[in-house]
Amino acid sequence: MTKIDAPSRRFALFGPQPRAPWVWIMALVTGVYLLVECGFNSRLLDVVGGMPDHEAVEAIEEIGRSLSGTALALMFWPWVLKRAADKRWNYLLTALALLVLTIVVATAVYRGEQKLVDRIVERSSAEQRFLATNLVALQGALVSNKVLLDELPLTPEQLRAPDGKSFLAVFPLLALSTHELDQVLQAQKPLILRAMADQLHGGESASYNHFLTSREALIETYNDHYVPASNAYQDSLGGIGARQDKAWNDYLARLRKRGVDPDNVPPAYWSDIRKDVRKRGVNVAKDWDPGDRAGFERAVGLSVRSESDKRFREGVAKHLDGNSLPPGLGMGAFFSHPVVQAKWRKSLHYKNSSFTLPVELPPQAQAPHFFNRTVYQRVLDDDVRATLPQYTAPVDTFADGGKNSDLGRESLRALAVPPIALGFSIVGALIHLVKLTLFVIQLIAAWGFMSGFVKGVCVPALALLLLAVFHFIPTSEITRQPLYDYFEQRGAGLGATEPNWQGRTAMYFTRAVIHAQVPAYPLFEAIRLNLLGGYEFGYESHQKTGKSDANK
Amino acid sequence: MRTNNSMRPLLRAAALLAAIIAGPVHAGALPDVQNVMQLEPEGYVALNKITTPLLYPVHTGKPYNTKFLLSVGRENLPPDLGKLQPDLEDINEFRVHALLQQFEPYLNGRMEALRNAKGYLVPLQAKLGEYDFQRRRFPLSLNMMVTKPKSPDSYHCAGAYDEFRHTRLSACVSATNWNNQNKAFQFLAIDDMQQAEHIKRQLLNKQAGFYFLMQNDGRFRVVDNAKMKYGGFMEPTLASGVLPARVIGLLLVDHTNSAIILAGEMTP
């Protein structure tokens, strides 16, 4: 170890540091965390750049907040571990201290991030919510590639690339500051909403596949469940006569065993006999005469019919979301029944449509075109018809208490969450990358920061510096487009006419993030797929593709 | 209703009493006959130990035990059939079967009469008090054959159509507009003391009796929700059904010649 005299050590940032056991622990834990954060970052980019639905954003946002909280907690771990070494704490106490610290810090960060988004949403104006609503739709339309921006045309390949995804994630934020955005979008809204609906349904081809899958699932339900249940029901009704005869003969035998004939039982004993008969499952009328065979058989018939009905209804309802159908339907009647149609449309997420989906398809070669013409385009028409009034509603309906207030808030949340989550994720990853580098230096060269405070300031600064460097590395074509420059100029004012430092900083790092993702994403995705076993981080692939759940 | 001229004052007196105890039920007019034998052609069947239990099979279509019915109701059989009845106890079942065939027309006739009856002649239990010489009348207490415990209601029940576990089964008639707390028919006014004495003697010697003339007042009700028992330990009987009927008048009948001695109408 190199000796340094006291005066020069006092002002040194870096100096000799021991290769203490806690450094090994921190290097290992930071390394593991970094792997998880990188994997999460790649998944997050897939989500935010892919027109996620509300649930998907919520799900990944929660994991993002938890990871950010863990990241900050890890920054305090060295302080605890050093104290544990100095005070000679045992393993249990040390683990307990780390656990408490992690829970407290992670919870605080989790809540803090949540509050940040909530505050942005709560403080938003009706106009911001209105614009957010339309921008989220435009974002979806861009993702579907059915809408192109003048002076920033993006090919599907570009949109699938890391910088394209990053751009889409921050696009609403960039465009929010554009002047008279609504006038620009007004004429295109039906087209935008149609494109958004197309994107939400996964596109024509994917929708056709989902349609086929759900159709097959329903045909299976018909053949394997409905038809057998219906046949069993009919068989059961066909056997009513035999059941009636048997029940009556059993009844007579029981009476005769007691020396009684049904016609000779005094009325004073009828009540007892009725009770006995009912106890045996024949629900005779309250004024039934024990000698009345027709009344007895009617009750047996009703009982058998009721049992069969119940068995049939329960058997069928299990496969039709708890709804039932009449028995004996042919395939055509089954598929055109409102209950089946409703389930089918629900499984395909055709929530705005009510027309009858066809079960009969033309030959395979014409089927996709037939589906597109008779189903898919009608679904998109219905979606546009249902959503357009909201997207063209007066701005004041998006104010608190307005009828579109919830839609506006949700849209603003959908707009704000992706960039925030992406920002925290990138910063967290960079900070822990710097930290890991420092731990490795300390383990190899026995050198490190002399002061914890200095380290606490320098590490985030170095991380931001590292990110800032990417601003100048033009890895993406997107940031070179004229429209991006326009967005950047408008965004520098954060809604105001003149640029300000907050807006400039935001736009500076936005460009840096787009550039940084080009080299980072492939590496992070490889980590996710190879080292984390392809973990989805709460974002299942069917959420993105709208996979049919008709067979569930 | 009219009787012979000598009975007219008595009729008027009884009718007057009935009017005093006016009830809410509309009474029908009494048929114009002088002898109870003339009542059946008018649609009124005399209820006795044969006809009363037959109300149950008539109104329910249920079978009945002919031998048991005849055995319990033998005293009400016509004399020619009454003589045959003891032979039904013969141990030769073929002879019994052949004998029963001889009762069939009579029983079918009774059932047919009951099926078409618009009313009934119902025997009563009567107690005649001491003659009030000042007011020239007897206090009269009437009851139908079976009194309901702790109740002013009474029923006419008689005979048995079958037996079940040593209990007789029969049917009853209930009065819908009368019970023994009703003020109707509480006095029998007779101005002529000789006649009064004569009637009292007839009643004491069972040579005369009181009867209600009743009309159908609802559907036959099967008693299937409770056990309506009567007859005590000696002749335990279960009522299988009750036919509601309303009283339209009171008759005093001479048992020796079936003549109607007096009649009082139940006025609304």
Q: What is the tens place of the pLDDT at every residue in A83-139?
A: 888 888 888 999 999 999 999 999 999 999 889 888 988 888 888 888 888 888 887
A547 pLDDT higher than 90 = no
* Residues in B touching A287 (Cβ below 8 Å): 224
Name the amino acid, one letter, at A37: E
What is the signed CA dihedral for A507, A513, A518, A522, rounded to 10 degrees? -160
B66: helix, strand or coil: helix
Which residue segment(s) compose the domain that A444 sits in?
A: 16-127+418-473+521-544
Domain count, chain B: 1
**A337 and A424 within one domain:** no
Nearest chain A residue to B167 by CA distance is: A266
Residue B193: inside a domain = yes
Instruction: Give the mean model confidence (pLDDT) for residues A427-456.
Output: 86
Cα distance between residue A441 and residue A17, in whole Å: 10
What residues contact A316, with CB distance under 8 A and at least 6 apart? A225, A226, A229, A324, A325
Residue A367: inside a domain = no
* Residues in A touching B226 (Cβ below 8 Å): 268
User: CB of A382 within 8 A of CB of A190?
Assistant: no
CB contact B66 to A (< 8 Å)? no
Residue A380: inside a domain = no
Check residues B160 and A154 and name the one with the higher pLDDT: B160
Contact B62 A291 (CB under 8 A): yes
What residues contact A410, with CB distance under 8 A and at least 6 apart? A54
* Residues in A touching B238 (Cβ below 8 Å): 266, 268
- Residue A476's pLDDT is 87
- Residue B24's pLDDT is 33
**Where is B128: in which H helix or E strand?**
strand B125-128
Contact A289 B63 (CB under 8 A): no
Residue A238: inside a domain = yes
- Residue A52's pLDDT is 64
Check residues B233 and B158 and name the one with the higher pLDDT: B158
CB contact B159 to A (< 8 Å)? no
Last residue of a domain, one of A328, A347, A366: A347
Q: What is the pTM of this model?
A: 0.55
pLDDT band at A320 (very low <50, low <70, confident <90, very high): confident
- Residue A314's pLDDT is 87
Residue B18: inside a domain = yes
- Residue B112's pLDDT is 96
Beta strands per DSSP E along A332-405: none
Nearest-CB residue to A263 (from B62, B222, B225): B62
A233 pLDDT higher than 80 = yes
Burial of B137 (0-12, 13-18, 19+ CB in 10 A): buried
Last residue of a domain, one of A288, A320, A347: A347
- Of the residues A255, A258, A270, A284, the best mutation for testing chain B's interface (the one with the most B CB atoms within 10 Å of its CB) is A270
ipTM for the complex shown: 0.81
B 73-132 → A contacts, CB under 8 A? none
Residue A539: inside a domain = yes
pLDDT in tens, B68-83: 999 999 999 999 998 8
Residue B72: inside a domain = no
Nearest-CB residue to A266 (from B63, B164, B225): B164
What is the residue-averaged pLDDT of chain A?
84
Cα distance between residue A384 and residue A387, in whole Å: 5
Nearest-CB residue to B238 (from A263, A266, A287): A266
**A428 and A321 within one domain:** no
- Residue A419's pLDDT is 80
Instruction: Give the mean model confidence (pLDDT) for residues A52-61.
Output: 75
A176 pLDDT higher than 60 = yes
A 290-309 → B contacts, CB under 8 A? 291
- Residue A421's pLDDT is 82
- Residue B106's pLDDT is 95
Residue A326: inside a domain = yes
- Residue A549's pLDDT is 39
pLDDT in tens, A268-286: 999 999 999 999 889 999 9
Check residues A85 and B108 and name the one with the higher pLDDT: B108
Residue B91: inside a domain = no
Which residue segment(s) compose the domain that B28 sits in?
A: 5-64+118-265
Cα distance between residue A132 and residue A148, in whole Å: 19
Secondary structure string (H, E, C) spanning A288-330:
CCCCCHHHHHHHHHHHHHHHHHHHHHHHHHCCCCCCCCCCCCC
Residue B249: inside a domain = yes
Residue B156: inside a domain = yes
B1 pLDDT higher than 60 = no
CB contact A86 to B (< 8 Å)? no
**A429 and A323 within one domain:** no
Contact A267 B222 (CB under 8 A): yes
Residue B100: inside a domain = no
CB contact B228 to A (< 8 Å)? yes
Residue B147: inside a domain = yes
Contact B62 A266 (CB under 8 A): no
Check residues A171 and B82 and name the one with the higher pLDDT: B82
Contact B164 A289 (CB under 8 A): no
